Structure 1
């Protein structure tokens, strides 16, 4: 891992009772699902934020890089995952832009820089992973189907969907361009939901970040004086 990237959250998952219909599982299956759920973990890493120039008085802007890592139990496989970054704890913070917006399922290398008017300029290039499998390890390469939303609001969503029974890759760098009042730290709460594929079960199993896991992290710290 790069020196300017650090793990800011690492937690277990639990069954998502809000989505799950408990009646479709026997008591034995229900207990097995809860045990397996605790052996599936999620980690979120944060790159050191970069200050971005802005012409708006009293506002500061930051290029924030995040990475989502899914660690499935050997008997499980992630089919879908959602990362939510909620800036509501930071007064007047706004998501100005985010990258990637959408990946259609073909492996792409995303070259991103900050453009004019607090927007990202991104160039998507298709890559051949069969000929160059080492490219899958690059933080700028994205494999699964992906959609994103949240520009102009305070909540950013990234959804990742695997191809059929393929492994779900989520290890690309997710970039947020955030503006906030000058001199104010930027904090966010993190939430993760996912669907797991388990052997012997026809339906996907919905899981979420454990409710007792810490959720609030500091994305941009105030300078020390």
Structure 2
């Protein structure tokens, strides 16, 4: 049982660490591509404005107008490419977030299973111990029999569920910890759900430099 416990703990730690790192990297990449997208859109907005000014003024001639039109087209292409990358990173972040939530649920179930198994073993050992004392000790037989009967009433995983009620961060996580409907009623302080959505560029926005 101890080796099983250690193996499960190691596997859980590795799995959670990898999943969290991947999700964090995806969110970081999404923020970086959003910044690049905003900058490219701002550059395209400025290039288009200069081209329109040249078209209306006409002081530089046809050659200057063609050059500014070409710069506008290049800026538009870069903005479209940046938007495509930004949208792809949003999809990636959403996928990694879903994987993280699934891993959290799976991890909690594994932990709960191990704790229930160890609790069951401890309960059986405790009951056997008190039964042995009850049979071999003549001084306090009733006391040991009472301890034996009270130990039988313990529900494996009960203590862990009580502890988890004070530690959980998300109702989805906590739902895997509870063994009864009554336990599930204690859910509180839910963690806000993550939402990833595309933020279109607006000329009124201030792009960080």
- TM interval, shorter chain, is under 0.3
Report the structure, 1 or 2, having the larger helix content: 2
The alignment's TM-score, normalised by the length of structure 2, stands at 0.21
Report the structure, 1 or 2, having the larger strand content: 1
Q: Which has the larger radius of gyration?
A: 2
